[in-house]
């Protein structure tokens, strides 16, 4: 059995970035910017007012001074003249500051009568002028690669970048296997359960930026697995679910080897996740996840999230870990690195009392995976331990 760290490195070595496509800005959210882009304009394009009020000369806007209002500058419609001595221009937020003005007198500090304003006592003396190019200037670069967050979307739009070069999304086929499985909404037979792993993983992979193809459930027969393989044609990655262990009906490895699977590894020192396998098959990366529902999801986090990142051209490696003190004493660990379902409570890590890899209710309640090295000795409450936030 290889270590989890070694297994992550081996899976990542099987994949690379998939290439670039251009999408309209409105479709770029959540994608990965694949190439640097440059601002097509300067923002603001002119010195603009940050407040509603009057454009004035600061030296003249002293308490008690009377100024005459000679026009108006609104956002989208500027005042075309220039400001002379003793003059003010009515101005609104976002409007261009007229020539000759160097300060905004906010309207709360001006008393207006007809075309005249009087400057009030104790006026706010901030200039309230946003300089041209104060946000960004034409040619400012957004470096790549990076995820296009909602905040970055606003910036790209403001920069007038209407078409965005993004990483092609990896297409991932999810193949549930097992005679016991039915789809959600179906009526399971007396010995059957609802296939859940593919739905959890679909959500996980889509959140990470992949496009998921839900393949039909393959029954525990070689022909069924072969037929499913045909349906996976065109995928960048095939993820099989279940059938990975040593039972008589665990056929995935045997059948896929017959179909050309070049296996990189099988079995890792990880709990849950021991029977994990990975390799290459018909131009796809193949990852075989264990069937136990929590094993599937934990392996999805630990292996598939970095793999999707790599295919998107992002920096990829083991998930970042944080550390926190333990809330309780825990006994020693066995030979596999243990990813314990845990909750963070008042900043302390509390492992769930039941760690069986079939318990989805425990996983759904967890906010962290407490990671214990192989053969870790007993630990006492208060000791700091590493965890992966979920």
Ligand X SMILES: Nc1nc2c(c(=O)[nH]1)N[C@H]1C(S)=C(S)[C@@H](COP(=O)(O)OP(=O)(O)OC[C@H]3O[C@@H](n4cnc5c(N)ncnc54)[C@H](O)[C@@H]3O)O[C@H]1N2
* CB distance 314 to 330 below 8 Å: no
196 binds ligand X (CB under 6 A): yes
Closest approach, Cβ 361 to ligand MOO, in A, equals 16
Helix or strand holding residue 72 (H, E):
strand 66-73
274 binds ligand X (CB under 6 A): yes
Helix or strand holding residue 212 (H, E):
strand 211-214
Residues 6+ apart with CB under 8 A from 348: 324, 325, 326, 327
372 binds ligand MOO (CB under 6 A): no
The first and second tokens of residue 153, run together, are 């979307």
The smaller minimum CB distance to ligand X, of residues 124 and 180, is found at: 180
Chosen residue from 292, 327, 336, 351 binding ligand X by CB under 6 A:
292
243 binds ligand X (CB under 6 A): yes
The smaller minimum CB distance to ligand X, of residues 83 and 276, is found at: 276
Map the footprint of ligand X across residues 119-178, applying CB under 6 A: 176, 178
Map the footprint of ligand X across residues 340-359, applying CB under 6 A: 357
Residues 6+ apart with CB under 8 A from 320: 388
* CB distance 97 to 79 below 8 Å: no
44 binds ligand X (CB under 6 A): no
**Interaction partner, residue 34 (ligand X, ligand MOO, none; CB < 5-8 Å by kind):** none
103 binds ligand MOO (CB under 6 A): no
Neighbour-count burial for 359-390, b at 16+ CB within 10 Å, e otherwise: bbebbeebebbbbbebebeebeeeeebebbeb
Per-residue contact string for residues 260-279; x = within reach of ligand MOO by CB under 6 A: -----------xxxx-----
- Side-chain-facing half-sphere of 150: CA atoms under 13 Å: 0
The first and second tokens of residue 163, run together, are 């078409």
The smaller minimum CB distance to ligand X, of residues 219 and 282, is found at: 219
**Interaction partner, residue 114 (ligand X, ligand MOO, none; CB < 5-8 Å by kind):** none
**CA 126 to each of CA 104, 119, 131: distance values in angstroms, whole numbers, following the listed order:** 8, 14, 14
Chosen residue from 197, 208, 253, 307 binding ligand X by CB under 6 A:
197
* CB distance 176 to 196 below 8 Å: no
Helices (H), 232-314: 252-258, 293-299, 305-311
189 binds ligand X (CB under 6 A): no
What torsion, rounded to 10 degrees, do the Cα atoms 59, 62, 68, 72 define?
70
357 binds ligand MOO (CB under 6 A): yes
Closest approach, Cβ 292 to ligand MOO, in A, equals 4
For 52, which DSSP code?
S
Helix or strand holding residue 78 (H, E):
none
Chosen residue from 4, 73, 295, 307 binding ligand MOO by CB under 6 A:
295
* CB distance 164 to 32 below 8 Å: no
Chosen residue from 98, 242, 279, 290 binding ligand MOO by CB under 6 A:
290
The smaller minimum CB distance to ligand X, of residues 167 and 269, is found at: 269
Instruction: Name the segment binding ligand X (CB under 6 A); options: 46-54, 120-128, 288-296, 325-333.
Output: 288-296
Position with the least CB separation from ligand X: 291
> What are the residues binding ligand X (CB under 6 A)?
176, 178, 180-181, 193, 195-198, 241-247, 250, 272, 274-275, 290-293, 295, 357
> What are the residues binding ligand MOO (CB under 6 A)?
271-274, 290, 292, 295, 357
């Amino acid at each position: 059995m290889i270590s989890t760290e070694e297994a992550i490195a081996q899976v990542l070595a099987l994949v690379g970035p998939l290439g670039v496509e251009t999408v309209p800005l409105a479709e770029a959210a959540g994608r990965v910017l694949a190439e640097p882009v440059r601002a097509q304009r300067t923002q603001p394009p002119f010195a603009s007012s940050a407040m509603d009020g009057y454009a004035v000369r600061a030296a003249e806007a002293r308490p008690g001074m009377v100024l005459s209002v000679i026009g108006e500058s609104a956002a989208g419609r500027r005042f075309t003249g220039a400001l002379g001595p003793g003059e003010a221009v009515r101005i609104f937020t976002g409007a261009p500051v007229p020539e000759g003005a160097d300060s905004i007198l906010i309207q709360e500090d001006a008393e207006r009568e007809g075309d005249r304003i009087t400057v009030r006592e104790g006026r706010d003396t901030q200039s309230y002028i946003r300089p041209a190019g104060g946000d960004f200037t034409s040619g400012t670069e957004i470096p790549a690669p990076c995820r296009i967050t909602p905040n970055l979307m606003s910036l790209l739009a403001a920069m007038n970048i209407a078409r965005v070069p993004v990483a092609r999304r990896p297409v991932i086929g999810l193949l549930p296997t097992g005679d016991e499985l039915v789809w959600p909404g179906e009526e399971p037979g007396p010995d059957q359960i609802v296939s859940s792993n593919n739905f959890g993983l679909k959500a996980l992979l889509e959140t990470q930026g992949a496009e998921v193809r839900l393949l039909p459930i393959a029954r525990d027969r070689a022909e069924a697995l072969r037929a499913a393989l045909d349906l996976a044609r065109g995928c960048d990655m095939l993820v099989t679910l279940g059938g990975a262990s040593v039972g008589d009906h665990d056929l995935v490895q045997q059948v896929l080897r017959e179909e050309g699977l070049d296996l990189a590894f099988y079995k890792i020192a990880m709990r849950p996740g021991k029977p994990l396998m990975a390799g290459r098959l018909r131009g796809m990366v193949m990852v075989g996840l264990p069937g136990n529902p929590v094993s599937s999801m934990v392996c999805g986090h630990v292996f598939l999230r970095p793999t999707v990142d790599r295919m998107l051209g992002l920096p990829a490696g083991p998930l970042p870990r944080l550390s926190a003190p333990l809330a309780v004493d825990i006994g020693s660990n066995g030979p596999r690195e243990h990813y314990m379902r845990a909750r963070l409570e008042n900043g302390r890590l509390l492992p769930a009392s039941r760690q069986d890899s079939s318990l989805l209710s425990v996983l759904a309640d967890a906010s962290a995976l407490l990671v214990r090295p192989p053969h870790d000795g007993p630990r006492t409450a208060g000791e700091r331990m590493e965890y992966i936030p979920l």
